[in-house]
């Protein structure tokens, strides 16, 4: 099963990805995480990526495709995989199709911007242990204090209203052509991101089958 997951920040992609991995034994492939890992490990690729990012440029489609091409050869991909954060553009989607034939389903968790903004700005993280909370959906036991280590929680810079709005604008600009691309292929499954985590999971499982 070859899946692509599309959703704005705070749409609940991570939660649904975990459910999908559990049920269908898929590999989870986040190109963003992979790039960060390579940079952290200081591999040849990581150094290359670091210098590209330092120059303010984006990592090229060819480089990302090369990374995905290698990744999907790994053993854990034998039942299939979920791609998160890739493809980001129609050009990348076309290259992905060249690589794997075509995806089976692209799941788009759709959510109105005002709801997403509320969720984004409700996020809190612990500066000491890295635990994450959400004032609306996953509150800490004591407001503003980390359950794990008792440290005062903070809001990340990109979780403010202004930064959140900018991230959502970027998401729409990039994803709308992508959504249209998969829709035209008949591969798009759009799910209402407001119906609750469990109902979203049920809807996705119903679409993908046993
Ligand atoms: Zn903590």
Q: What are the tens digits of pLDDT across the range 59-98?
A: 888 888 888 998 999 999 999 999 998 998 899 999 999 9
Q: What is the mean pLDDT of residues 121-147?
A: 92
Q: Is pLDDT larger for residue 38 or for residue 24?
A: 24
Ion ligand 1 residues within 5 Å by Cβ = 126, 128-129, 131, 146, 148-149, 151
Q: In the numeric block, which tokens belong to residue 49?
A: 């990526």
Instruction: Give distance in angstroms: CA of 142 to centre of ligand 1.
Output: 12
Question: In angstroms, how far is CA 162 from the centroid of its own chain?
Answer: 21
Looking at residue 104, its pLDDT comes to 96
Residues belonging to the active site: 13, 88, 123, 156, 167
Looking at residue 36, its pLDDT comes to 86
The whole-angstrom separation of Cα 177 and Cα 188 is: 12
The whole-angstrom separation of Cα 85 and Cα 82 is: 10
Q: In the numeric block, which tokens belong to residue 181?
A: 């691309």
- Other C-beta atoms closer than 10 Å to the C-beta of 98 total 10
Q: Is the Cα torsion angle 197, 120, 191, 94 positive or negative in sign?
A: negative
Q: Shortest CA distance to 11 belongs to which of 130, 156, 115, 136?
A: 115
Give residue limits of the domains in the chain.
2-112+161-208
- Name 205's Cβ contacts closer than 8 Å, sequence gap at least 6: 19, 23
For the cut 80, the answer to whether the pLDDT of residue 58 exceeds it is no
Percent of the chain, pLDDT > 70? 100
Instruction: Give distance in angstroms: CA of 82 to centre of ligand 1.
Output: 30
Residue 3 φ then ψ, to 5°: -115, 150
Q: What is the mean pLDDT of residues 118-139?
A: 91
For the cut 90, the answer to whether the pLDDT of residue 205 exceeds it is yes
Q: What is the mean pLDDT of residues 170-190?
A: 94
Instruction: Give distance in angstroms: CA of 161 to centre of ligand 1.
Output: 24
Q: Which CATH superfamily is domain 2-112+161-208 in?
A: P-loop containing nucleotide triphosphate hydrolases (3.40.50.300)
Q: What is the DSSP letter of 93?
A: H
For the cut 90, the answer to whether the pLDDT of residue 38 exceeds it is no
Instruction: Give distance in angstroms: CA of 128 to centre of ligand 1.
Output: 5
């Amino acid at each position: 099963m070859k899946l692509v997951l599309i959703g704005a920040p705070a749409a609940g992609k991570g939660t649904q990805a975990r459910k999908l991995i559990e049920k269908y034994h898929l590999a989870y492939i986040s190109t963003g995480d992979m790039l960060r890992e390579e940079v952290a490990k200081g591999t040849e690729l990581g150094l290359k990526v670091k210098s590209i990012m330092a120059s303010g440029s984006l990592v090229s489609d060819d480089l990302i495709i090369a990374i995905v091409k290698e990744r999907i050869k790994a053993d854990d991909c034998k039942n299939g995989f979920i791609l998160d954060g890739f493809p980001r553009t129609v050009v990348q989607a076309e290259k992905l199709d060249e690589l794997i034939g075509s995806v089976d389903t692209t799941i788009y968790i759709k959510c109105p911007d005002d709801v997403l903004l509320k969720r984004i700005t409700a996020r809190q993280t612990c500066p000491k242990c890295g635990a994450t909370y959400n004032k609306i959906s996953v509150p800490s036991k004591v407001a503003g204090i980390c359950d794990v280590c008792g440290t005062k929680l903070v809001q990340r810079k990109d979780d403010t209203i202004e930064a959140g709005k900018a991230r959502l604008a970027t998401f729409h600009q990039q994803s709308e052509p992508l959504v249209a691309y998969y829709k035209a292929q008949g591969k798009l499954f759009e799910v209402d991101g407001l119906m609750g985590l469990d109902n979203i999971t049920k809807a996705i499982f119903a679409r993908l089958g046993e």
